[in-house]
Amino acid sequence: MIIPSTNTSCQPEMDALRVPGVTNHVARMFIHDDSMEEKPGFDHVMHSIRSSTEPAIRAVVTCAPDHLVIAVSPESYWEGPESHGRILKSMRSIGGGLPVTMSPDAIKAALDCYGDVRRIAVITPYLPLGDDPVSRFFTDSGYEVVNITGLGCTSPAQIAHVSEARLRQAVREVDGPDVQAIVQVGTNVAMARVATAAEAWLDKPVLSNNVALYWHALRQGGVHDSITGFGSLLERHLHLPERTNGTTPTNPHLTYSTTGIAGR
């Protein structure tokens, strides 16, 4: 798991998702807690992420992991789907050919589990400066972004301080009758518990970034355990979705878990 040094939410959430026989090993990307209120500050955060990702990957692969999870969001969305493809290829190369999971791939696969989901609402940790590239990424990937809400965090470390009450409010803000699924991006947002509960209120998928990342890594790695307490994705979807002739299989039997996060 490659995680920014300012991120205090991703590691505990992913540790709570661990199943017997799976171990998590973390390398940190060193970044400063720069202001993201203006473009120069946001750009500096992006530069820090880019310059520190390769050393972090090279450090963690010395423990011979089976899979790499790149648990950082801005780099994944900033320059669009084509750029993401190049970044993913680069990460695999740096990791010596290991499978790599990044947020866009995990979230896309997770949405595919629920059938023909095209109309989504998105929650980000950012100000509008960061919301716009995320919305554009999903639009360019074939989704209609019905609503987007940014939590307005002014620096990377501040993202972890968003309360569960504010996250519940954000879910209500972006939801609507024409929204098929809600997607949260940003690995420093401790969203797993709120997303799990929100599925029960709304009777629709609510995807937490960290849960989607970990689910994708497990399933791609051949771990098919049903994990309860973290929402329908980990509990009901035991394999990555198969695509045949460019179509996505539907899942008419959606069941949502209402229990909280174990080990928090």
- Using the structure block, give the residue that is written with the tokens 């589990």: 113
Q: Following DSSP, what letter does each residue of 230-247 receive, concatenated?
A: S-HHHHH--SPPP-BTTB
pLDDT at residue 63 greater than cutoff 90: yes
Report the percentage of the chain scoring pLDDT > 70: 90
Query: What is the average per-residue pLDDT within 19-46?
Result: 94
Report the percentage of the chain scoring pLDDT > 90: 81
What does the alpha-carbon distance between residue 209 and residue 190 come to, in Å, rounded to a whole number?
9
pLDDT at residue 263 greater than cutoff 60: no
Query: What is the average per-residue pLDDT within 142-164?
Result: 97
Of 246 and 69, the structure prediction assigns the larger pLDDT to: 69
pLDDT reported for residue 74: 65
pTM: 0.90
Of 264 and 66, the structure prediction assigns the larger pLDDT to: 66
Q: Token digits for 97?
A: 């050919």
